[in-house]
Homo-oligomer: A and B are copies of this chain.
Amino acid sequence: MDKILQTLLEKVADLHGVPEGAYNIRANGQMAGRNTTANIDIVTREDGKGIDVHVKPGTKKESVHIPVILSQTGLNETVCNDFFVGDDADVTIIAGCGIHNGGDMESRHDGIHRFFVGKNAKLKYVEKHYGDGDGKGERVMNPRTEITMDEGSYMEMESVQIKGVDSTKRDTVAHLAAGAKLVVQERLMTHGRQDAESRFDVCLDGENSSANIISRSVARDQSHQAFYSNLQGNSLCAGHTECDAIIMDEAKISSLPEITANHPDAALIHEAAIGKIAGDQIIKLMTLGLTEEEAEAQIVNGFLK
């Protein structure tokens, strides 16, 4: 693996070499390494379009790394991965996609991830997106995440787009059975002429299911962001969406959150706010010796932390 791919790997999966536990590294459309454990199996799908990850019931404190890195300009791929997390398991799955585009053609990775979270299982899923490279070619990532949560299961999804992705459409669909709980934390920053769209469809189907979706984003320069969510309460359930955005320069942000109560015992709340950094916050930091740019950067970093 060359230096560029290694840098990407570090950015999207915090990996400085080969990870511990189970992993599958995909580099420029090819498998670049795989490891399985006694409890976690990774198999290439029969159609060759992705992998199936099987986590045995009761597996505790194990992790799976499945980074995807691209450094070849013009590469355009769609990958379908399925994750079967057995009953009572407690695992962390770290996905990430890094694209370095040094050429003039579009490089694109579309990932479809399906999660089947077993009864009373706990899953932490981390997804990081990163792009760099001096080429004129666009860096495009369109992740789709489909989540099916069985009774009493818990899933925490952390979705981060750090930098350098020119265009992204992020789609997340979830169905929750009785007692299941989903927590989503999305952090997004766009700059230049980037375009980002994020969509969440969460169905609270089972009794006592709950969801908490928190999106924080910063739009700079001439970038454009759109946030859509649809929280459906179909039983006694609790749902909360929060969407806070900082707007800077000539950016545009739109937020379109929907909550639908199809059941009288559904309790749903949504909050959204779009605004710029308060002037007095910047002035306060400037009196401490920071320049205006440094003050802004510090506030933005704190907001996205």
Copies per complex? 2
A248 to chain B: which residues have CB within 8 Å?
A: 264
A-B contact pairs, 26 of them (CB 8 A): A233-B274, A247-B261, A251-B264, A252-B260, A253-B261, A254-B259, A254-B260, A255-B270, A256-B256, A256-B257, A256-B258, A257-B270, A259-B272, A261-B274, A264-B276, A266-B275, A267-B273, A267-B276, A268-B272, A268-B275, A269-B272, A269-B275, A270-B270, A270-B272, A270-B273, A271-B271
Q: Which 5 A-B pairs have the closest CB atoms?
A: A254-B260, A267-B275, A256-B258, A270-B272, A261-B274
A259 to chain B: which residues have CB within 8 Å?
A: 254-255, 272, 274
Number of A positions contacting B (CB below 8 A): 31
Contact (A250, B268) CB under 8 Å given A255-B259, A259-B255? no
Q: Closest CB-CB distance, A207 to chain B, in whole Å?
A: 15
Given A247-B264, A257-B270, output 7 extra A-B contacts at Cβ < 8 Å: A254-B259, A254-B261, A261-B274, A266-B275, A267-B276, A268-B274, A269-B275
A residues 169-213 near B (Cβ < 8 Å) are none
- The reply on A265 being an interface residue by CB < 8 A is yes
Most buried by B among A250, A251, A252, A259: A259
Cα distance, A233 to B252, chains bound together (Å): 10
Q: Is the CB of A257 within 8 A of B257?
A: yes
Q: Closest CB-CB distance, A194 to chain B, in whole Å?
A: 16
Chain A, residues 263-303, CB within 8 Å of chain B (1/0): the string is 01111111111111000000000000000000000000000
A245 to chain B: which residues have CB within 8 Å?
A: 261
Q: Closest CB-CB distance, A227 to chain B, in whole Å?
A: 10
Q: Closest CB-CB distance, A215 to chain B, in whole Å?
A: 13
A residues 139-190 near B (Cβ < 8 Å) are none
Q: Is the CB of A252 within 8 A of B261?
A: yes
Q: Is the CB of A260 within 8 A of B253?
A: yes
Cα distance, A262 to B254, chains bound together (Å): 8
